[in-house]
Amino acid sequence: MLWDEPTASLDPILVREVLVVMEELARDRASSMIVVTHELPFALRVADRIVLMDKGQVVEEGKPSQVFVNPISEIGRKYKELIEYQMNTSAQSLAGN
């Protein structure tokens, strides 16, 4: 299956519903899925492999833990910073800060 930005232009509630269905499909099917997405937490949770592209070129490829824990490209480092920012912001929001 190929999913190209399946959550683009959806409101947050629908985004969550679509991602839940996609996660169930990824878990329950014995087939491959290619997902083009900017939903980083989703990609980290369900992907076996991640490919980062910049200006149409593959700049990084590997397991999510490899790509986002120890990025080798500038865009990989930017995504790592974004993920850390999103996680910190979410934690602060939940704590009421």
Distance from C-alpha of 88 to C-alpha of 81, rounded to nearest angstrom: 11
How many degrees, rounded to 5, is the angle at CA 25 between CA 23 and CA 26?
A: 65
Tokens 């850390």 found at = 84
> How many structural domains is the chain composed of?
1
Give me the tens of pLDDT residue by residue for the chain, a chain 97 residues long: 899 999 899 998 998 899 889 888 888 877 788 999 888 878 888 888 999 999 999 999 999 889 888 999 999 999 889 888 877 876 676 677 5
Signed CA dihedral, 25, 28, 32, 36: sign only: positive
CATH for 43: 3.40.50.300
Close Cβ partners of 69 (under 8 Å, ≥ 6 residues apart): 80
Facing residues of 58 across strands?
53
Q: Which residue range is the domain that position 17 belongs to?
A: 2-95
